[in-house]
Amino acid sequence: MFSKKFQRKYALTDQGLRNTKRGAFWTVIVNLVVMGGMGILYLLTGSFMETLTEEKNLPTVVFPIALTVLFLVLSFLTHLQQYQATYGLVYNEVKATRLSMAERLRKLPLGYFGKRDLADLTETLLGDVNRMEHVWSHVLGYLYGAYISTSLIAVCLFVYDWRLAIACLWGVPAAFGLLFGSRKIAARASERTKKAALRVSDGIQEALENVREIRATNQEELYLDRLNQKIDEHERIMTRGELGTGIFVNAASVIMRLGVATTILTGAGLILSGEINFMLLFLFLLVITRIYAPFDQSLALIAEMIISQVSADRITELYETPAANGNSKFTPNGHDIVFEHVHFAYDEKEVLHDVSFTAKEGEVTALVGPSGSGKSTCARLAARLWDITGGKILVGGIDISKVDPEVLLTDYSMVFQDVILFDDTVMENIRLGKRGATDAEVLAAAQAANCEEFVRHLPQGYDTPIGENGARLSGGERQRISIARALLKDAPILLLDEATASLDVENETKVQEALSRLLAGKTVLVIAHRMRTVEAADKIIVLSDGQVVEEGAPTELMSRDGLFRHMVELQRQSAGWSLK
């Protein structure tokens, strides 16, 4: 029962599985003790009835009182144990699950985060785990404990009288059958509710992110209307879902209770035909009140368990996404980046076909090509942000797919367009480049990256908080911070995505100056958009539709009548000097 499959199904950690077993064990004991209480009641009633019918003297009160006290003490102690084994321990389980999920996230290929949207991932870490918390604490131990104890009691009932036992117990499988039969409906409703909720949170996030554009274009009402619609829809879907499961839960509960009626009817029949005496029926009626109790509780819980299956699956999916592992030692021989017949697909569709090129150490290698030709993809692959589907990528002769991404990345600096800044000071944002860098080192890097001049105008200089994701900085300024980080890190490989957004002339010159300091002596792979960069590159790789179509020094390529020359001429004819 409590197998690996069970553990996966409910997204339990190893400790969680052990705790659930404990919870189930104590639930069995509690249910048996309570049943024992019924036994005591039966015995006492029996002996009391004997005094009535056979005119015996009343038994002494000492024995029944002692028995009752014993029962109460036992009941208290076992309930206490059950409580600790179910509620108490589960809080550790929540913590353990979140920690192990975070650990897992750390190991996942970075590409995974591009695939799953952030709101969805947060929902799994917080919402799904919360939902499971209730299942772990209130459902699993209780329910599986109840299965075991009821099976034991059912065996006893069958031994006493199989006809009454059937009359008394048929409702249990019928009720459960109904619930499990409706499982698909409940799961679908839950999935639908969750999707609607995600649409609402996505809508809110989108509105917040685009608040400027929305205001600028006077679209507030349109946006709010759309959000309102999403919220209404969520409410509707949720109500319908709850109603659906509610009907099944209540129907199951009614069916189970029909067992009382059938027991009385069968019992009465059997008494009339003289096959059993009244006391046996009385015993069954006592038992019946208790045998349904754990299930009555758990019927609603089962519904919850079914609904929560979606959450459990999402957690399990996270655990089962293959991690990007690898050797924690990385000792390359130099830092040439070599692509050997690389194939790659983000999902089904292949976007790089048999790409081979070399980016030499100490040189600037520029990737150019039309938009969508695979330039960014090549840059991401060079840092193992994704794993390739065919071929090999070597850095200093070492296959990077065999190297732990965390270790590999220590040799890379990346200056991409979407610079991620944290809501901290300028100083701390630059310090991210190198953990434990001294203030002097940070300042030197900032100067080399031409940050000095704009930082001077900030109210508290380097100690100015820059707002969430650098809201207070311009594109060029953000990029200079990112360059400063890279300078500070001073990694041998630099992946660079030039800004496409046109910076003002002054900003551009400053960024260029900063970059030239950064490039010296490194293996530089740049996604080039500017003529200047392209002309200054040592080597150019021209990509088109995921294939290398030309390769060579800029002058060499210009002398050929190929895509590169064509692109350059096109750019020269148009006013802009930038390559896109």
Tell me which residues touch ligand ADP (CB under 6 A).
114, 346, 351, 369, 371-377
Could you tell me the smallest distance in angstroms from the CB atom of residue 463 to ligand ADP? 37
Could you tell me the smallest distance in angstroms from the CB atom of residue 487 to ligand ADP? 25
Choose between 170 and 346: whose C-beta lies nearer to ligand ADP.
Answer: 346
Q: Which amino acid type is present at position 23? A: G
Choose between 84 and 376: whose C-beta lies nearer to ligand ADP.
Answer: 376
Chain-centroid distance of CA 185 in Å reads 24
425-460 burial by CB neighbour count: b if 16+ within 10 A, else e?
bbbebbbbbbeebeeebbbebbbbbbbbebbeebee
Chain-centroid distance of CA 405 in Å reads 20
Contact, 523 vs 357, CB < 8 A? Answer: no
Chain-centroid distance of CA 184 in Å reads 23
Extract the tokens encoding 458: 């900030």
Choose between 57 and 371: whose C-beta lies nearer to ligand ADP.
Answer: 371
Choose between 219 and 376: whose C-beta lies nearer to ligand ADP.
Answer: 376
Could you tell me the smallest distance in angstroms from the CB atom of residue 196 to ligand ADP? 25
Choose between 86 and 377: whose C-beta lies nearer to ligand ADP.
Answer: 377
Choose between 262 and 376: whose C-beta lies nearer to ligand ADP.
Answer: 376
Could you tell me the smallest distance in angstroms from the CB atom of residue 213 to ligand ADP? 23
Could you tell me the smallest distance in angstroms from the CB atom of residue 420 to ligand ADP? 17
DSSP-based helix, strand, coil % in the chain, nearest 5: 65, 10, 25
CA distance 287 to 150: 10
CA distance 155 to 287: 13
CA distance 569 to 555: 14
Could you tell me the smallest distance in angstroms from the CB atom of residue 569 to ligand ADP? 20
Extract the tokens encoding 234: 């969520």
Could you tell me the smallest distance in angstroms from the CB atom of residue 125 to ligand ADP? 22
Contact, 548 vs 356, CB < 8 A? Answer: yes
Could you tell me the smallest distance in angstroms from the CB atom of residue 342 to ligand ADP? 13
In degrees, rounded to 5, the angle at the alpha carbon of residue 520 between the alpha carbons of residues 515 and 526 is 55
Specify the DSSP element, H or E, that contains 66.
helix 62-83
Choose between 6 and 416: whose C-beta lies nearer to ligand ADP.
Answer: 416
Choose between 11 and 415: whose C-beta lies nearer to ligand ADP.
Answer: 415
Choose between 173 and 372: whose C-beta lies nearer to ligand ADP.
Answer: 372
- Burial (Cβ within 10 Å: 0-12, 13-18, ≥19) of residue 278: exposed
Kindly report the number of other CB atoms within 10 A of residue 144's CB atom: 21
Query: Helices (DSSP H) in 410-545: which residue ranges?
Result: 426-431, 439-448, 452-455, 475-489, 505-519, 531-536
Choose between 223 and 346: whose C-beta lies nearer to ligand ADP.
Answer: 346
**Which backbone phi and psi does 461 adopt, to 5 degrees?**
55, -135
Could you tell me the smallest distance in angstroms from the CB atom of residue 576 to ligand ADP? 17
Could you tell me the smallest distance in angstroms from the CB atom of residue 414 to ligand ADP? 14
Following CA atoms 369, 370, 374, 379 in sequence, which dihedral angle do they give, to the nearest 10 degrees? 50
Could you tell me the smallest distance in angstroms from the CB atom of residue 186 to ligand ADP? 33
Choose between 13 and 373: whose C-beta lies nearer to ligand ADP.
Answer: 373
Extract the tokens encoding 419: 């610079």
